[in-house]
Structure 1
């Protein structure tokens, strides 16, 4: 007798490797940028109490802190989407992105750009405020035009 061997059909793999790689890479980036922000923040605090540190050095450390926090926040959507894709086959964000994008739409934000630049010019000449507010204003003055140009295509 001839025995016929029947192979089972290949099963669909539950792991989506590109999403796993994106998730690992984004989490590593998040940890790195949070670490940079934390170390820069501690250096800025130490610079505030140290008499030999100038105000420009302190402002630079807080600028690094603000940039690290911004880059960490920018990685969060990638982490959420990759995690959803790894944990289930379907990714449906629904109206979450529409609501967030309508509030922070670049065509609305670009109207605040001149005010941010003027505020940065004023804050730069105010020694007690410049180390605290300049990092945030620098991040905003750089990210809003970039978001607007990306939106324009």
Structure 2
């Protein structure tokens, strides 16, 4: 099963949880609007820039061998993730990205939220964000029971 996780994490000394949640949704809507206006030429330029950046000569040993270490630790016999990644990236179309964004991050049909709320001293009395169909877990020991 393919699943995708997308996380937005923030804290604020001036905004409560509800305000931050509204800002997250505004960001997602705004990005969707911008993504819809990207042309095929702009998308091709973005892809090529990303590939060029990915292929840029590393400036440290960590950069040079970081991906190799990851593959080695996962016990891969054939280490070719760079070539595979570039091949997949080159095959991605703008419509694929737009459809994926809509399906995973915008459509209520597929959207699943995990909202962790922590209140600092400034908002200790502020109400927690309330979402439709939410399940509240106030103690980690309750997680298995839900």
- Which structure has more RCO (C-alpha within 8 Å, separation ≥ 6)? 2
Q: Rg larger in 1 or in 2?
A: 1
TM-score where L is the length of structure 2: 0.27
